[in-house]
Amino acid sequence: MFRNLETLNIIGSGGVKLPKEIRKLGKLRHLTCRNLSLIELEDGIGDMTSLQTLRYVDLDTDGAAKIIKGLGKLKQMRDLRLINVRREDGIILSSSINEMQHLEMLFVESGWEGIFEVIDLDLISLPTKLRNLTLNGSLQKLPEWIPKLQNLVELKLS
Q: What are residue 116's phi and psi, to 5 degrees?
A: -110, 140
Q: Which helix (H) or strand (E) holds 79?
A: strand 79-83
Percent pLDDT > 70 in the chain is 95
The predicted structure's pLDDT at residue 119: 87
Low-confidence winner among 8-17, 126-135, 148-157 (lowest mean pLDDT) = 8-17
Q: Is it the case that residue 154 has pLDDT exceeding 80?
A: yes
81: three-class secondary structure by DSSP: strand
Q: How confident is the model at residue 116 (pLDDT cuts 50, 70, 90)?
A: confident
| Per-residue model confidence as pLDDT tens digits over 20-38 | 888 888 899 999 988 888 8
- Domains of the chain, by residue range, sit at 7-157
pTM > 0.85: yes
Q: What are residue 24's phi and psi, to 5 degrees?
A: -75, -10
Residue 109 CB neighbour total at 10 angstroms? 21
Sequence-separated contacts (24+) of 34-37 with Cβ below 8 Å = 34/10, 35/83, 36/10, 37/61
Helices then strands, counting H and E runs in the chain, come out as 2, 10
Which CATH code for domain 7-157? 3.80.10
| Per-residue model confidence as pLDDT tens digits over 71-106 | 999 999 999 999 999 989 999 999 999 999 999 999
145: three-class secondary structure by DSSP: coil
- Greatest CA separation found in the chain? 49
